[in-house]
Structure 1
Amino acid sequence: MSRLVIVVENPSDWGAYYPSTQVVAAHDYLREPPESSERTHVINLCRSYKYLGSGYYVSLLAEARGHRVIPSVRTINGLRRRALYGLDIEDLNQKLAQVLKGSERDSIDFGILVYFGQTAHPLLQDLARQVFELFPCPLLRIEFRRERAWQIGAIRPVGLHTLDDAQEDAFAQALDHFATKLWRKPRARRRYRYDIAMLVNKDEAMPPSNRGAQKAFIAAGKQLGVEVDPIGPNDYARLAEYDGLFIRETTSIDHHTYRFAHRAEQEGMVVIDDPASILRCTNKIFLHDLLVSRKLAVPNTEILYRDDPGSLDALPDKLGFPIVLKIPDGAFSRGVVKVETVEALKKTVAELFTHSALLIAQQYLYTEYDWRIGVLNREPLYACQYFMSRGHWQIYNHGGTGPKSGGFRTMPVREAPSDIVRLAVKAANAIGDGLYGVDLKQTAERAVVIEVNDNPSIDSGVEDAYLGDDLYRRIIQEFVRRLERKRLGVTD
């Protein structure tokens, strides 16, 4: 069973609360022998996290001992560097302007206290949660200022000893909820070597793994001594419980999936998909430049700019019709349109420019199917052919009553054309060493990379049609390999 430790600067700081054996003074924690095989979670409630002060060293040594600690040293440093967190909260300033629109507040500034992501101000609860997600710290004060509009002026840690009676009650409730519901793990889980959180969204219409595949990942984990625990979008604060994060929800930069990946990486967890892979794969503009810079074959492509409408005139001569237009962050064939006339080109481009300042225009290559090569840790994992949806030019047809897809054929990697596999692995290696699905087209003249997916589809009955349960075991085994290397302090 895991151990929860609450560290305070002085024992008197805990005087307003019930005595507890979980509460220790900072000087006692710092002198604690580092050898311990017990899973330990630390809540650092020191009065200050000043660089090289007691509070700073509590978090620093907690991380050195392999303890899960809040706040982490990264969070402490982020809060100290105003320029750093000013970038992170840019979108929150816009949100605050909407929340306070029409407020009768006359003061030029004010602030709120945030206890483990909770605040006494209901209108600002969502904002408090988002700030806590960016900077996981037990006690924060968000200070606002008004110039032309309300915005965040500062985010500062707060000492437990500064709270009044009402604030102490609010903090106690938030601490109890956070510690009891989120940090303590059931005794049964200790049967497993490692715990992996599998992020899924039951409301997602087209998840990257269906229910059968999700169950297969859980079963594979049990065989390998790993608990694969499904979590949802509302379980952000639970990440510190786990050793790894496996994202099985469609990813995007402006989305909670990226925040989950970023937070998990900050916590030192093994993460698939890692934030860098999400960034590189989910934007087709970035991906195109990356593939071209690596001299990898791609379809003839032009980038369209909203502020340069004249570039449309030369497009038919450069690419010929039909032309495929794409928004940079589309997924599962969404945001992808084929046009066959100048009129359709102009109309579609105008519509797509309402979603993005840049668009991709590509030469249309007819094939009966697309190749998908799964790549894990720089090695090919599976090979599939995805056939076009009946009567449609794409694999997925989003028209009509709902999305429909074509057939598929899954085969051993050795039976796929060697040039397709080599090109896929090179494309995946340009992204990183995670789990990727590389989409390619093969014509009589050449093979080209269409895109690299950081969150490839792994569905029961499709991608596992050849490898079966071994597909799931290989992926979970890669988590185990990385976790073992991390435990031994081995770096690649």
Structure 2
Amino acid sequence: MAEHILLVEQAADWKPGFPRLPVVTAREYLGGGDAFSSKRRLRVVNLCRSYRYLSVGYYCSLLAEARGHKVVPSVRTLQELSSRGIYGLITEELNQRVQRLLGRRRGAAMPTAYALILFFGQSASRELQPLAREIFETFRCPALRVELKQADAGGHWRITAIKPLTLDGFTAEQEPEFLAALEWYLSQRWRQPRARLHSRYDLAILHDPQEELPPSNGRALRRFQQAGKGLGVNVELIQRKDYGRLAEYDALLIRETTRIGHHTFRFAHKAESEGMVVIDDPGSILRCTNKVFLAELLDAHQVPRPRTLILRRETLLDAEQAIGYPVVLKIPEGSFSRGVFKAGDRAELKRIAQRLFRESDLILAQEYLYTAFDWRIGILGRRPLYASKYFMSRDHWQIVRHEADGKRDEGGFETVPVEQAPADVVRVALRAANLIGDGLYGVDVKATERGAVVIEVNDNPNLDAGIEDRVLGEGLYQAIIGEMVARLEQRRTGRRQGEP
């Protein structure tokens, strides 16, 4: 039987009168390393004080997933609940049940607004229990406040807000209800929802013509369209303003730099919820965008990488002993060499870290390994697709040098047949990408004296005409569109991908 633990931000949050259950502080879990990562069947209930993006509570769920633990709430749930713009996309079907349950109520004395408190999908209202269970199946969070409102004079009810509640904020009356629901929940089997299916052949490519450093240039986008014609797929370029039309398509390929809390993630999430084939899928965006998650994931599966530490403010100087100088400091999110800094001594370490800790409760410290170039191995559907060398910019230690005036200097490139890339580089890239999923990834690898080491996995790798397609030519674009067609065909014949 799977073991479970409860995560709290402060030991005092689990009060003396509460049941004797396995409670672990967030600090113990985040710093526990092997003590927790070796437990593959661990079930984690995250009861931290805040699930805010990049908070300690957020990182607890993030690292739980990296360690292979089953956690509630998941990072995806936290992201969905972080914005009405995201969870509003998901509540349309729930609103139909709200209307069925509350719409029949009549009378001048009836309220026009209602707050539903849920603990693990349990509600004090027997009448609203079916709705409570459905909300929890959609947003698996320990405690939720769901605000319902009569939207118009015709008596139509809707969900207007869904907010996580936290253990430290419960009233004395709510605590017994929560504890009873918790004990019930821990006795249940945890499961995953099934995917929905779709079956047509129109593909949308999301891009931004104004993006400064897009993942695909204009010529590459046109080649995607040409490849689609050859495979019987209608490929259209769409932009952010086309969100309302997304359901018209059967597949979505994102060729705009992805970020959490950004419309690219909303597009990915909406596409997946509509049963579309989507690259980059929201799970891959969540996993790849945060370098702390990647560091823990690679460590848990013993994938070679530079010596790496996850730092909090109080453990900053651990980087001196464990890594030494120079040391590379990274903000959890960043692309194109942004948010990555090198500290040569303690003064620089403190100065850089002070700035990074304003954005995130955790940052990354990594061993400095200089190489003249980084390998980028493109992976598609768990198979290597292309191999490129990205050279460091002149007199600099990164591929892209960002100047204070906004200008940038980029190094050169060379693309070679995959079979000509070092075998250990390709092998370690595949190991890393397969931990993320079966989508399209670009794995950055350094070939060092001690062997190949993974720097990071990108969910939205560059595919530029004249660079990554130097070897495969049109075949690069055909392979990607062809993979999406194959997935559409699999769904059409009734086989599901990614089911638990």
Name the TM-score, length of structure 2 as normaliser: 0.63
Candidates 414, 418, 421, aligned match of 2:423: 418
**Equivalent pairs: percent with the same residue?**
51
Aligned to 2:285: 278
Residues 206 and 254, structure 2, Cα contact 8 Å, conserved in 1:
yes
1:333 pairs with 2:340: no
Question: Cα offset for 1:86?
Answer: 10
Compared CA separation, residues 139 and 290, structure 1 to 2 (3 A)? closer
How do 1:96-175 residues align onto structure 2 when only pairs under 5 Å count?
A: 132-136=88-92, 154-155=147-148
2-structure distance, mates of 1:268, 1:160: 34
How do 1:238-257 residues align onto structure 2 when only pairs under 5 Å count?
A: 238-257=245-264
Residues paired across the two proteins, number: 338
Residues 323 and 363, structure 1, Cα contact 8 Å, conserved in 2:
yes
- Name stretches of at least 5 consecutive residues in structure 1 with no aligned partner: 1-83, 93-128, 164-191
Cα distance per residue 1:264-287 (max 9 Å; x no partner): 111110010111111110001111
Aligned to 1:75: none
Residues 200 and 249, structure 2, Cα contact 8 Å, conserved in 1:
no
Candidates 441, 460, 463, aligned match of 2:446: 441
Cα distance per residue 1:451-489 (max 9 Å; x no partner): 000110001111001111110011000011000111111
1:469 pairs with 2:474: yes
2-structure distance, mates of 1:348, 1:218: 44
1-structure distance, mates of 2:214, 2:155: 46
How do 1:22-421 residues align onto structure 2 when only pairs under 5 Å count?
A: 88-92=80-84, 132-136=88-92, 154-155=147-148, 194-306=201-313, 308=314, 311-399=315-403, 400-421=405-426
2-structure distance, mates of 1:430, 1:260: 23
Q: Which amino acid in structure 2 is aligned with residue 423 of structure 1?
A: V
Whose radius of gyration is greater, 1 or 2? 1
Question: Cα offset for 1:312?
Answer: 2.6
Question: Cα offset for 1:491?
Answer: 2.6
Q: Which amino acid in structure 2 is aligned with residue 443 of structure 1?
A: T
Report the 3-state secondary structure (helix = DSSP H, G, I; strand = E; otherwise coil) of the residue aligned with 2:241: coil
- Name stretches of at least 5 consecutive residues in structure 2 with no aligned partner: 1-75, 100-111, 116-143, 157-198
2-structure distance, mates of 1:86, 1:214: 33
Question: Cα offset for 1:155?
Answer: 4.6
Cα distance per residue 1:207-231 (max 9 Å; x no partner): 1111111111111111111111111
Question: Cα offset for 1:407?
Answer: 0.2
Cα distance per residue 1:175-215 (max 9 Å; x no partner): xxxxxxxxxxxxxxxxx971111111122111111111111
2-structure distance, mates of 1:491, 1:264: 16
2-structure distance, mates of 1:264, 1:193: 13
C-alpha root-mean-square deviation of aligned residues, in Å?
2.8
Report the 3-state secondary structure (helix = DSSP H, G, I; strand = E; otherwise coil) of the residue aligned with 1:414: helix
Question: Cα offset for 1:157?
Answer: 8.9
Cα distance per residue 1:311-369 (max 9 Å; x no partner): 23332222121100000011111000011111111100001111111000000001000
Residues 384 and 411, structure 1, Cα contact 8 Å, conserved in 2:
yes
Name the TM-score, length of structure 1 as normaliser: 0.64
Q: Which has the higher contact order (CA 8 A, sep 6+)?
A: 2
Aligned to 2:103: none
Report the 3-state secondary structure (helix = DSSP H, G, I; strand = E; otherwise coil) of the residue aligned with 2:486: helix
Report the 3-state secondary structure (helix = DSSP H, G, I; strand = E; otherwise coil) of the residue aligned with 2:363: strand
Residues 145 and 152, structure 1, Cα contact 8 Å, conserved in 2:
no
Residues 86 and 266, structure 2, Cα contact 8 Å, conserved in 1:
no
Q: Which amino acid in structure 1 is aligned with residue 298 of structure 2?
A: L
Report the 3-state secondary structure (helix = DSSP H, G, I; strand = E; otherwise coil) of the residue aligned with 1:198: strand
Question: Cα offset for 1:427?
Answer: 0.7
Compared CA separation, residues 253 and 86, structure 1 to 2 (3 A)? closer
Cα distance per residue 1:48-94 (max 9 Å; x no partner): xxxxxxxxxxxxxxxxxxxxxxxxxxxxxxxxxxxx999844544xx
1-structure distance, mates of 2:304, 2:149: 50
Residues 262 and 274, structure 1, Cα contact 8 Å, conserved in 2:
yes
2-structure distance, mates of 1:89, 1:313: 35
Candidates 428, 432, 448, aligned match of 1:427: 432
Question: Cα offset for 1:408?
Answer: 0.4
